Amino acid sequence: MGVSNKMKSWAEVQLQQEVIHYKSEAQRLKREKEKLEQQYDVRKMNEIISEVEELAERNRLIEKSYKEAVKEKKKLQTQLVKNEEEKSQMKNTLLEIEKIKEDLSAKEHEWKKEKEELLQQLQRAYDNSTKKTPENFFSKAVSEQADTQKVEGVSEPDQQEKSKQNYEQFFQAFQAGNNHSNEDDE
């Protein structure tokens, strides 16, 4: 039994050594596993931190764009209000122009009427002045006689003859004017 005990002991020792070896190997693997897990966690954390930083940068850019968009919106709203005011002013100006245009058209129409009336009055006055009425003829004859007396220095008997002729012309014109006005009346 001694030998078998020794063998048993030797086998036990060998078995114990293998157990110790496997235990140390298990511990080494466990440490390596923990180390790898730590490295993995660090890598994973670094990836997460990197993603967070990227997201923060994107968020900062988005916020910057948002602020610029808000400023642009305010600027555009201000411009829109200004444009609306200008549009309103232009509309009012156009209405004023239309009113002035209408006033000018009315004035032009008035002026045309007045012009026509004045032309008619002028035509009537011209017609009356060219008509051989006794008044016109007599005033014309008197003015002609005065002109000839001034120019010629006519003697008294010639002047009487001339006055007689003028009177006859006046009388004939008077009768012709009466006949003419009687024809107009009919």
Single pTM value for the model: 0.37
pLDDT digits (tens, 9 = 90+) for 108-151: 999 999 999 988 988 888 887 776 655 555 566 666 666 665 55
Tell me which of 88 and 152 has the higher pLDDT: 88
pLDDT digits (tens, 9 = 90+) for 29-66: 999 988 888 888 788 888 888 999 999 999 999 999 99
Using the CB atoms, write b or e for 68-103: b if 16+ within 10 Å: eeeeeeeeeeeeeeeeeeeeeeeeeeeeeeeeeeee
